[in-house]
Structure 1
């Protein structure tokens, strides 16, 4: 029995059969619709129900290049409705939604070319190649993130150490300032006391000289000093003696006591030596002088001969003590001011936000420099930015994710706003400026890498993207498995 020969079925009949089968089985695809929403595009008694309203239109109106639904959902595969989207399946890469206005515009927006279905341009399917290239790119990114995460741990340790150092430095400065303030008060009190002693001694000498002058005038027949003049000298002396009470320098010793004490030959030596023993250059001189006059005291004749000289030396030594004490007081004040300024500078560190786990503290004040488009830029992290000598802003705040440093209040532009800068931070092993731009007048953008923003979350995002690409590759189950195993580091 011979084989029965059948005539070939015309191609157009095959297409009709396929269309009928799809309609009957309810599996027809709607061009440009997201597969997860295909059930919303079912034919319901000859009508399509618009997705975001209560409207319904004839089912034949789907993708007829005319916008029937107010929400545009009846035209997912054409450019008829503003604001609607077209779904690119992109088998082998990542599915995406593009604006419907990009459909059949002569540009291949979907890597599978499905957006140019009218055929105005030839769009070869490049999704598999894109997927493979993206996988390789992600492998490189994952490697950088892993290195960055390791470096970030080191940065956290440095930040923690620096924070401890700042706390300790603050405590030491506060102690030093307190001790210096105590020494300053003591030195001021001693200075007032020495100056008062000097005035009392000088007043004593004035009275002594006046008495000698009066005796000399009587014996030589010169003009005799009147009682009024003597009273003025004594009144001035008494006034000087009472200054101690006014200064309230030493409540234990009144001016009268000081005056009586100064009559002792060794008073100035003891006073100056006790007060200025530690910090004046006159200490050795005082010791030598005391030894000299102790020696003279054994010979009354010589001692009387040098008595006038001793008073003069007392005054000069006291002046030297006062001068040295003033220098010491000035040194104390200078050191005190220096420590106060340093404390204020250190305390400024505690008023800034250094992000999660204070990781950016170790980067504060690190400055990066780069030449771009004929300008020299300098970026000091968490501080300021300059373009040559122009201020592009001072650090003012972070964005919510600590991935952008915002600098403001820079040098005002001519006929424009004050300059400002946004520094975009990307994960990287080292701190490096990648790019500088000025997208609008006097507003600058930097892109820089730093390990401070590397995160496990970023790693997870890459892995999720890789899983989408791998699951969307048009491969057999075995090929998918091999591909996944090959890139298991993702």
Structure 2
């Protein structure tokens, strides 16, 4: 009989104790130790300990009824051993629906809830272990990319130094070729002056009087007539208007035609001044003069030398411009922030595509994002702007701005979130608001060692 009372007392104490601490996490158990009175956790009221978990709400914060649904602000703690613990509103306690995987929320209802925590925990553990394997592999690949980034950075720095040296060498060559071209042009000018003295004068453009006379003498009879002047000569201030018969005759003087000697001493002077009349086809006049000049061997040699130096100078100028453009482009690339260890450097000059319904999106890191429809229309969603991650993960997001204008006004823009993965690929594209895009970009260099430190929850 005595043993019966002892067992009964123990069972009664166990019942009272379990009633009082039901729905409480281990960190809150200290508030519910066996005492004569209970202080509401918010400090608002002291009640007898018998009123804890008695299905009547005494505390405003609901702390006296953690295991019942009596308090509207109450919370019930699901221990969920083998899975993730969590809180549920106390209104869901004993409502016939299993909210805790260990069925602890339905301790006094008709619901028959199996304990599914172990199965859920197994799936959770398998998922977390898979994530950890991915993280391990991602971190391994990241280290490789960091090492490659260091080598690539050094190569680009060396390339920049080489280009700058080439630029300096080309600058010296430019000065030398400019000097040689100037000298060749001076020698050509001397040869032309010697030819002028022999042929009786030059046009203002350096052309001889003879080829101009031959140009005007259309029928090659060594005479210029009014009809020939009307065909080849125009007024300087009215090129569309042809000479009249009277005007042509006036230029020829008393005779109706003019030979070379007369032309050189009369009409040639008028053409030379260039203030009233000129040859209608200036290109033809230049070509005619060049034809006569080309017959002189000294002028020919000087002309070839000047042309050779001009060609060489042009080549060097083009090479110098190309090298400086490469230097400028390389300097811009090297000025970009590629991460603390330059781990993102390998993304430069790479592009990644993803087709979403009728659109193909192309992300070119540190450059531009485009959207191309099935009909071939391509628009810019933004150009590289800056990193916009959190203080803990500065390189977690990229912002691309100033894309093509949106039909509702403003420019398109995109935010790219970088996530850890064993491959580098564009995974998803969404448009939560008009012309504002968000993208998920997976890459090993986004893997962070701090994630590994979090590990798996101790209760799993």
**TM tier, smaller:** 0.5 to 0.7
CA distance in structure 1 between the aligned counterparts of 2:409 and 2:102, rounded to whole angstroms: 47
Partner of residue 439, structure 2: 446
Deviations 1:384-442 (A, max 9, x none): 22222232333321413123333333334332654333333332222133333333443
Structure 2 counterpart SS, 1:357: coil
Task: Tell me if 1:457 matches 2:450.
Answer: yes
**SS in structure 1 at match of 2:408:** coil
104 and 352 in structure 1: CA distance in 2 versus 1, 3 angstrom threshold: farther
Do 2:191 and 2:299's aligned partners in 1 also have CA atoms closer than 8 Å?
yes
Could you tell me which residue of structure 2 aligns to residue 174 of structure 1?
164
Equivalent residue for 2:382? 393
Q: How many residues align?
A: 368
1:204–1:147 CA distance, 2 compared to 1 (3 A): same
How does the TM-score come out when normalised to structure 1? 0.63
Query: Match for residue 37 of structure 2?
Result: 46
| Alignment check: 8 A CA contact 2:82 2:459 kept | no
- Answer yes or no: is the 8 Å Cα contact 1:416–1:442 preserved in 2: no
CA distance in 2, matches of 1:179, 1:422: 44
Question: If each structure's helix is expressed as a fraction of its own residues, which one has the higher value?
Answer: 1
**Secondary structure of 1:146's partner?**
helix
SS in 1 for 2:21: coil
User: Displacement, 1:85?
Assistant: 4.5
> Which among 376, 394, 419 is matched to residue 360 of structure 2?
376
1:412–1:418 contact (8 Å) kept in structure 2:
yes
Distance 1:161 1:131 in 2: 44
Map residues 80-159 of structure 1 onto 2, 5 A cutoff: 85-98=75-88, 108-115=98-105, 119=109, 123-159=113-149
Q: 1:427 to 1:210 in 2, by over 3 A?
A: closer
SS in 1 for 2:174: helix
Q: Specify whether residues 15 and 338 from structure 1 end up closer, same or farther in structure 2 by C-alpha distance, changes over 3 A only.
A: farther
Is the 8 Å Cα contact of residues 41 and 48 (structure 1) preserved in structure 2? no
In structure 2, the gaps of 5 or more residues are: 202-260, 266-292, 373-377
Q: Which stretches in structure 1 are left out of the alignment for 5+ residues? A: 1-5, 212-221, 227-308, 470-490
2:423 pairs, out of 410, 425, 430, with: 430
Deviation at 1:370, TM superposition (A): 1.9
Superposed counterparts of 1:14-413, under 5 Å: 18-20=11-13, 29-42=20-33, 45-51=36-42, 53=43, 56=46, 62=52, 69=59, 71=61, 73-74=63-64, 76-77=66-67, 85-98=75-88, 108-115=98-105, 119=109, 123-207=113-197, 209=199, 312-388=296-372, 389-395=378-384, 396-400=386-390, 401=393, 402-413=395-406
Relative to structure 1, is the Cα distance of residues 37 and 195 closer, same or farther in structure 2, using a 3 angstrom cutoff? same
CA contact (8 A) 1:85 1:99 kept: yes
- Given that 1:397 and 1:407 are in contact with CA atoms closer than 8 Å, whether structure 2 keeps it comes out as no
In terms of fraction of residues, the more strand-rich structure is: 2
